[in-house]
Amino acid sequence: MPLSAHHLRASVAVSDIGEAVAFYEGKLGLQPLWSGPSARITDGGRVYGAGGGPALNVYQSATAGQSAATLATWYVDDLDQIVDELVSAGVELTRYEQFDHDAKGITARAGGGRIAWFQDPDGNTFAVEADL
């Protein structure tokens, strides 16, 4: 059976699972579906749901924050509302010099639509974007 027939889940390394839980659950409002060990770290991993199923695996690792690329993107209907909620929860949006951002930190997306980025405490980059 080809991989296209299976669900895909993004995995993100963090340096401190306690700090990550405070961010992902406290600031982003993600609900853990389950927790478990990460390598030799008891309770060092979490799987969070999004869009009706497991979507994001967060685990403690020494390789945390080593990618400058966007690791996962949430596709939303009302980008302004989501950005307002994130900022109200204490999430700081990331602004890149090569893009023009509006007052909220949202920029035009290549091919149409709009996008905003933010980082977790380890510098892992995420995005929220909308087609409108």
pLDDT in tens, 75-114: 999 999 999 999 999 999 999 999 999 999 999 998 999 9
Q: Can you give the pTM of this predicted structure?
A: 0.92
Give the Cβ contact number of residue 77 at 10 Å. 9
Average pLDDT, the chain: 94
pLDDT, one tens digit per residue, over 25-36 is: 999 999 999 999
Our count of domains for the chain comes to: 1
Query: Longest C-alpha distance within the chain, in Å?
Result: 47
Write out the residue range of the structural domain in which residue 49 sits: 3-130
Q: Which two tokens stand for residue 111?
A: 């091919």
CATH number where 29 lies: 3.10.180.10
Measured CA to CA, the distance from residue 87 to residue 1 in angstroms comes to 42
CB 38 within 8 A of CB 44: yes
pLDDT of 131 > 90? The answer is yes
To the nearest whole percent, how much of the chain has pLDDT over 70? 100
CA atoms within a 13 Å half-sphere pointing along the CA-CB vector of 81: 6
Q: What is the CA radius of gyration of the chain?
A: 15
Alpha helix locations (H) across the chain? Answer: 17-21, 79-88
Place of tokens 């090569």: 98
